Amino acid sequence: MIASVLVANRGEIACRVFRTCREAGIATVAVHADPDAGALHVRSADTAVRLPGTTAAETYLRGDLVVRAALTAGADAVHPGYGFLSENAGFARAVTDAGLVWIGPPAEAIEAMASKTRAKRVMADAGVPLLAPLDPAGLTASDLPVLIKAAAGGGGRGMRVVRDLAVLEEELVSARAEAAASFGDGEVFVEPYVEGARHVEVQVLADTHGTVWTLGTRDCSLQRRHQKVVEEAPAPDLPDPVRAALTSAAETAARAIGYVGAGTVEFLLPTGGRGPCFLEMNTRLQVEHPVTEAVYGVDLVALQIRVAEGEALGAAPEPYGHAVEARLAAEGSLDRPVRRLRAGGPGLRLDAGYAEGDTVPPHYDPLLAKAIAWAPTRREAIRKLAHALEHAAIHGPHTNRDLLVRALRHPEFQAGAPDTGFLERNLPALTRPRDARLAALAAALAGAHAPGAWRNVPSQPQTKRYRSEPDGTEHEIRYHRTRDGLVPEDFPGVRVVSAVPGRVALETDGVTRTFEVTAYADGRVHVDSYALTALPRFPDPADRAAAEPGSLLAPMPGTVVRVADGIAIGEPVKAGQPLLWLEAMKMEHRVTAPVDGTLTALHATPGRQVETGETLAVVTETEENS
């Protein structure tokens, strides 16, 4: 019987495991890096152990420190969560060698699948269909496009699509560097990139008594930068023979490596009638596991613990209904604390890693929460989730909320199962700025309740200015106080029905809409799902003095990981030429020259921590282009 569990992770997944442990009467232990000292997962645990340092490499990826923490805190089991050390065979062995229970698969099974190149050889020997790797040295134009992938880890890191042989070597170098930084292993491989395919996976769960469950399929095709954004179960529009082939191949894969515990076998499903191709096996719990839990009515973490305690699984449950999950992630600047993160309702679940007052560190995954909706049908589940996200109170950092809502409501997604290129094809429409002018009017009127008398003579209007986030559009709002109430200027057809602090009702062409307005002392204003920043009425001239022309500013807090080889101050650069790479939120962001010109300043050095808006480099445009 497990009495105390240390979760070797942070954020949402640590909170998720702790929730099941509390329900089971199991004590909980958290570990934390210094930026996470006050994090939600630390506050959620019974005890916590500090891992001195800031970066993942100094803390969450130090297996020796995590094992020592478990022993120090008196834990008798370790749950790895996902990411970090969850698929590290050496860590699994270190846990069991220390006399602790490992809530995961055997180290040998992890080792067999830890390298995607080795995993493909194992699966080929077991008869599981797959895409064969390609030799980068022998590639020709006819092989394009190809996909570079990190042999270790996942989450889209160390992954590049190459459509031009001229950039192959550069992309290999970049992928190796990102893989080494993320997983401590710079090995990459190349395989064919299949256009228009679907990404479908099968949840497996196996015990030590020879039982292997295959808990249906999940579709994870909605991806941005090779990272999953929306997942659903079961995968829609799969013919019965294809579904049977997927689950059979997944069971074969699990049995081939003597798998125990929860895991996921991922497949690429090409168009044109070709059968599924094995991609990889994740020897851990997946981020998207809640959709399977919702459809099968199970708690996968509780089942992981039962299996680790040696219990038999018995008969597999039957599925019912449909579930959809959306990953709500912070984007852009992370210097704003989470002020509100609320969403709920019947058939809805929110797995959050942050609470009000928390700040999202730039050093780790930007996932704020996962919103999950279940309903008897796919159509109902999609509608419920889109509505919940649209009306959720999310105040603080910028998020991908608008992208998620638009993707869920897109006709192509609602009609059936889109392929992995869906977001790329539709990104301009899915990310276009919303017209926030009416929201800015509501923000202005909500603050117009200050005492003051109306004047029975013509007077200048009251003026307020706002900037909508994150697109930066500025709105100047003018309104008059009259004996009949507040009257906005330049809003034909709009009548103010009521305006009090926190709530404004506006009638537009006979239709009344009510806005919920929340204003904060630092000038941030949230109007329903719109985020605004109040601006001074008359801008300070000093604020207009922008950075030096040609300055390349850090788009978010992060760490400079690389500077391009061969660049030096005084040297010419071409527009679009990579100058340096910034790592933030576990992703590499390439900073390129904006114009043809000369590099006149370079303030970035590898390892340097930068904040949003810091100058990284300056490119002075050549006169003939200026």
- Annotated catalytic residues are 284
Nearest to 353 by CA among 6, 5, 19: 19
Decide: helix, strand or coil at residue 445. Answer: helix
Question: Are β-strands 511-519 and 503-508 bridged in parallel, bridged antiparallel, or unpaired?
Answer: antiparallel
The partner residues of 328 in beta bridges, in order of sequence, read 369
CA distance 536 to 279: 54
Residue 82, Ramachandran bin (φ over 0: left; ψ between -120 and 50: alpha; else beta): beta
CA distance 532 to 520: 11
Q: CB count, 10 Å around CB of 4?
A: 18
Long-range contacts of 21-27 (CB under 8 A, 24+ apart): 21/301, 21/305, 23/302, 24/302, 24/305, 26/2, 26/305, 27/3, 27/75
Asked whether 433 and 374 are in contact (CB, 8 A), the reply is no
CA distance 41 to 49: 12
> What would the two tokens of residue 594 be?
């904006």
CA distance 399 to 328: 7
> What would the two tokens of residue 108 be?
């040998």
Residue 438, CA distances (Å) to 26, 507, 604 in order: 51, 11, 41
Is residue 218 exposed (0-12), middle (13-18) or buried (19+ Cβ within 10 Å)?
buried
Nearest to 328 by CA among 304, 350, 311: 350
Asked whether 17 and 78 are in contact (CB, 8 A), the reply is no
Written as one string, the DSSP assignment of 376-387 is SSHHHHHHHHHH
Nearest to 144 by CA among 94, 195, 98, 109: 195
CA distance 480 to 495: 12
CA contacts within 13 A on the Cβ side of 590: 16
CA distance 603 to 393: 39
Cα 533 from chain centre? 25
Residues ≥6 apart with Cβ < 8 Å to 48: 29, 30, 31, 32, 42
Question: Are β-strands 160-162 and 4-7 bridged in parallel, bridged antiparallel, or unpaired?
Answer: unpaired
CA distance 467 to 472: 6
Written as one string, the DSSP assignment of 539-595 is --HHHH--SSTTEEE-SSSEEEEEE-TT--TT-EE-TT-EEEEEEETTEEEEEE-SS
Asked whether 50 and 73 are in contact (CB, 8 A), the reply is no
Q: Kindly report whether the peptide bond that precedes residue 594 is cis, defined as omega within 30 degrees of 0.
A: no
